[in-house]
């Protein structure tokens, strides 16, 4: 990326991960059973994106 990115472009992925992660953390507090796994996956979304960022070719 040569051109300067806007704030929106810079924070698009981090902001999405923030909202999804926070939702997962609160969701797990409100549910029990299988839904806990879904909430855990929401919290783990940042790990998925991290792995994608680290393994992709650049």
The residues that touch another protein, with contacts defined as CB under 8 A, are 1-5, 7, 10-14, 17-22, 25, 28-32, 36-37, 39-40, 43-44, 46-47, 49-50, 52-54, 56, 58
CA distance 6 to 17: 18
Whole-number minimum distance, CB 58 to another protein, in Å?
7
Tokens matching residue 28: 């797990």
Whole-number minimum distance, CB 35 to another protein, in Å?
9
Whole-number minimum distance, CB 18 to another protein, in Å?
5
Collect all residues with Cβ–Cβ distance below 8 Å to 53 and sequence separation of at least 6: none
DSSP three-state, residue 42: helix
């Amino acid at each position: 990326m040569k051109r300067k990115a806007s704030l929106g472009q810079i924070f698009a992925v981090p902001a999405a991960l923030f909202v999804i992660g926070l939702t997962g953390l609160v969701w797990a507090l409100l549910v029990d059973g299988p839904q806990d796994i879904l909430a855990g996956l929401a919290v783990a979304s940042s790990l998925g994106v991290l792995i994608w960022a680290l393994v992709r070719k650049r």
